[in-house]
Amino acid sequence: MRPVQALQVALAGEHAAVYVYGVLGGRVSTSADAALSRRLILGYTRHRSRRDELISRVRSADAVPVEAEVSYEVANPALTSSQLERAALQIELRCSALYADVVGSTSGADRRWAIDALTDCAVRQLGFGGSAAPFPGAAELA
Amino acid sequence: MSRVSRRVVVRGLAVAVTPGLAGCTLEGDGAAPAQDGSSDPVSPDPDVALAITVLSEETAALAALQATRSLHRELGRELSPMIASHRAHVSLLSRAAPEGSLPRASSRRFAVPDNERAARLTLVVVEQDLGSVQKRAAAAAKSGAFARLLASMTASSAQHAALLTAEAGDRDAGGAA
C-alpha cells in the first residue's frame, strides 16, 4: 500500500471513530458512570485530534482527504455501560490495526506518528476492558 | 500494506543476511520503500542489527519480569501474561538473528526490590526503556513489515507499563485509605 493510501484508510477509520465516540458519549450517564464518561470524552477528543492530523498529512501528500460517511454502525446497542465499553474497545482495536498498517506503509515522520497513535490506541483499550496482547494491532503475529 | 505472517517477516530478515541475497527483504510485498536502494551483497541487512538490539533488550526485560515473579509470588497472575508476551517477542526475534548473535540471558543481573510496589514500579521503568528501544528500531527499520512488528511490540510494552502503573497506584491508594 502506498503511504498516502495507508493514511487515507486510517483517516476513514478515524472518521468512524469520531462518529461512534460521539454516539457513545451521548449515551453515557455522567452522574452514574463518571469514570466511563471521562474515558469516552478523552477518547473522542483524541480521535478527533488524530482525524484532523491525518487530514493535514494527506493534504501534505497532495491528495484529497477522504470524507466522512453520513453515519456509521455502532458495534452493539450501546445502551448499558458494558455495551458502551465494548463498543469503545472495538474502536480502539480497529484503529490499532489501522495504525499498525500505517507504520508498515510509511517512513520518517508519518511512521513515527503512527507508532505513537498505535501505542495510544493499545493503551486506551485497557481502559475499556481490553487485555494486554503480545502484538497489539497485529494479532496475526501471535 | 499487505498483512504478512510472522514467518514471512522473520524469513525476510534471515534471508537478507545471507551473502548474495541481501536486499531480499520485504520491500517486495508492499512494505515501505527501502531508505537505501542499494543491495550490497556483503553488508548484512541493517534490520538484522535492529533485531539483535531489540532482542537483547527483550531478553533483559523477560529476565527482570521472571526474577520479580520468583521473588513476589503474589504477582504471578499479573506478571505471567506479560512474561508470555515477552517470550513471544523473543521467540520471533530470535529467528531473525543469525547464529551466535543471540544475547546470553545471564549477561545482565536484575535486582528485584523487596517491596512489592517498588518492584512493580521498577518493572514500569524496564517496560518504558524497552518501549523506547523498540520505538527507535521501528522508526528506523528498512522493512515496512518489520517496522510494523516492532511498533506492535512497542505498543505491547506500553500496555504492560500502563497496567503495572495502574496496579501500583491502586494498591497504594488502597493502602492509604
- Judged by a CB distance cut-off of 8 A, whether residue B3 touches chain A is yes
Beta-carbon separation of B138 and A111 below 8 A: yes
Distance from C-alpha of A130 to C-alpha of A137, rounded to nearest angstrom: 13
Beta-carbon separation of B160 and A132 below 8 A: yes
Closest CA to A46 of A127, A121, A103, A130: A121
- Name chain B contacts of A125, Cβ cutoff 8 Å: 159
Report the pLDDT value the prediction gives residue B27, as an integer from 0 to 100.
36
pLDDT tens-digit map of B65-113:
999 999 999 999 999 999 999 999 999 999 887 777 766 655 567 899 9
Beta carbons of B127 and B164 less than 8 angstroms apart = yes
Around Cβ B59, how many Cβ atoms within 10 Å? 22
Report the pLDDT value the prediction gives residue A60, as an integer from 0 to 100.
97
pLDDT at B43 over 60: no
The total domain count for chain A is 1
The length of chain B, given as a count of residues: 177
Report the pLDDT value the prediction gives residue B21, as an integer from 0 to 100.
27
Contacts of residue A117, defined as CB under 8 A and 6 or more positions apart, other chains included, come to: A10, A50, A95, A99, A102
Report the pLDDT value the prediction gives residue B10, as an integer from 0 to 100.
63
Give the model's confidence band at B12: pLDDT under 50 very low, under 70 low, under 90 confident, else very high. low
Give the model's confidence band at B169: pLDDT under 50 very low, under 70 low, under 90 confident, else very high. confident
ipTM: 0.96
pLDDT per residue rounded down to tens, chain A (142 residues): 899 999 999 999 999 999 999 999 999 988 889 999 999 999 999 999 999 999 999 999 999 999 999 999 999 999 999 999 999 999 999 999 999 999 999 999 999 999 999 999 999 999 999 999 999 999 999 9
The pLDDT mean for chain B works out to 79
Determine the average pLDDT of the residues in B27-47: 50
Domains of chain B are 6-16+44-100+112-176 (1.20.1260)
For B128, nearest residue in chain A (alpha carbons): A119
- Name chain A contacts of B151, Cβ cutoff 8 Å: 99-100, 103-104, 114-115, 118-119, 137
Distance from C-alpha of A11 to C-alpha of A37, rounded to nearest angstrom: 25
pLDDT tens-digit map of B129-163:
999 999 999 999 999 999 999 999 999 999 999 99
For A110, nearest residue in chain B (alpha carbons): B139
Question: Where residue A92 sits, what CATH number does that domain have?
Answer: 1.20.1260.10
Reported pTM: 0.87
- Name chain B contacts of A137, Cβ cutoff 8 Å: 148, 151-152, 155
Please name the residue that has the C-alpha cell 474502536: A91
- Name chain A contacts of B128, Cβ cutoff 8 Å: none
Phi, psi angles (nearest 5°) of residue A102: -65, -40
Instruction: Map residue A74 onto helix, strand or coil.
Output: coil
Query: Cell numbers at residue B169, please?
Result: 497506584
For A99, nearest residue in chain B (alpha carbons): B148
A92: containing domain: 3-141
Q: Which residue of B1, B5, B131 is in closest CB contact with A104?
A: B1
Beta-carbon separation of B158 and A1 below 8 A: no
pLDDT at B28 over 90: no
Beta carbons of B120 and B164 less than 8 angstroms apart = yes
> In terms of C-beta density within 10 A (0-12 exposed, 13-18 middle, 19 or more buried), how is residue A136 classed?
buried
Give the model's confidence band at B35: pLDDT under 50 very low, under 70 low, under 90 confident, else very high. very low
Closest CA to B92 of B45, B138, B55, B133: B55
Closest CA to B63 of B92, B91, B83, B80: B83
Beta-carbon separation of B151 and A132 below 8 A: no
Distance from C-alpha of B25 to C-alpha of A18, rounded to nearest angstrom: 37
Give the model's confidence band at B60: pLDDT under 50 very low, under 70 low, under 90 confident, else very high. very high
Distance from C-alpha of B90 to C-alpha of B61, rounded to nearest angstrom: 10
User: Residues 88..147 of B with a Cβ closer than 8 Å to A: which?
Assistant: 88-89, 92, 131, 135, 138-139, 144-145, 147
- Judged by a CB distance cut-off of 8 A, whether residue B155 touches chain A is yes
Q: At what angle do helices B46-71 and B116-140 cross, to 10 degrees?
A: 170
